[in-house]
Amino acid sequence: MESPMKVYEALQWASSFLTEKGRDANAGELLLEHFLQMDRTRLLSNLRMVLPEEVQENFRKAAEAHAQGVPVQHITGYEYFYGRKFIVNRDVLIPRPETEELVQGAIERIRRHFGKNRCLKLADIGTGSGIIAITMKLECPNLSVSASDISEKALRVAKKNAKALRADARFIQGDLLRPFLARGETFDIILSNPPYIPKRDRTSLSVVVKDHDPETALFGGEDGLDYYRRFMEELPQALNGSALVGFEIGSGQGDRVSGLLRAAFPGSRVETVRDINGHERMVFCMK
């Protein structure tokens, strides 16, 4: 990529180069959109445009960095979630599309379980970049939204996202529900995408994940269920009489997480929901 290249030539080069390195061939398109400040439609309508020299050089370096395992989102500094642009960096888990399904499932069940237009209190536990808390507030403005994370650095990112997206959410540093329990606070809705990858699966993860996402946001003990067990100790003190709990889970964890919720809340309605790819991804408990 030394001589001047047109957009389509740069995309062809990146696709071939990244495929050879075992990375997603489409990453080149995302990077070029970023450096040219174009959306996909505009990029594809300018395929014969010659790349400015600086853009071409930055694009080449970015593609090489991604080939070495650096996530595209850490190069661009953002990721889209539920149609909105969120700041991300090494201090937070990169938002996954599957978590959008947790948000959508929660919105549907809030309307079904509580009815419309009620003022309810929601807590997002382990908020990271703030995607769940912020999206829930923007999609359901009547909610009073709080969020916690043990990482001060993650909370800085979440607060920046809330400010940029004009979402009125409260962020508190602390371990799971403890900062709220210490204040005697209770909630109608508690959502969480906790760390759930078993430690034994570490070696099978892509370097893009295991070397760049924060470990504290990935691993949930030997079997991946440590945080769910801790939730069962804290949730009974944090929920109001009629309440909704929603967790994101790893594939194959549905029966065990559902069992923990049924034991903690006998008589409640618990359901495991599969994502668009057919994998167990969410567990909801309606108390």
3-state SS track over 107-146: HHHHHHHHCCCCCCEEEEECCCCCHHHHHHHHHCCCCEEE
Q: String of b and e for 205-219 (b: at least 16 CB within 10 Å)?
A: eeebebebbbeebbb
Structure tokens at 170: 């409260």
Could you list the residues known to form a binding site, using ranges.
126-130, 149, 193-196
Could you list the residues known to form a binding site for substrate, using ranges.
193-196
Contact 249, 239 (CB under 8 A): no
Task: Tell me the backbone φ, ψ of residue 265, rounded to 5 degrees.
Answer: -135, 75
* Cα–Cα distance measured from residue 9 to residue 32, given in angstroms and rounded to the nearest whole number: 12
Nearest one of 43, 54, 51, 56 to 1, comparing CA atoms: 56
* Cα–Cα distance measured from residue 75 to residue 90, given in angstroms and rounded to the nearest whole number: 11
According to DSSP, the β-strands at 239-248 and 280-286 are antiparallel
Q: Using N-to-C axis directions, what is the helix angle for 7-20 and 53-67, rounded to 10°?
A: 10
Structure tokens at 27: 């990453």
DSSP character at residue 87: E
Query: Which strands form 121-125's sheet, in the order they lie side by side?
Result: 169-173, 144-149, 121-125, 187-192, 239-248, 280-286, 269-274
Could you list the residues known to form a binding site for S-adenosyl-L-methionine, using ranges.
126-130, 149, 193
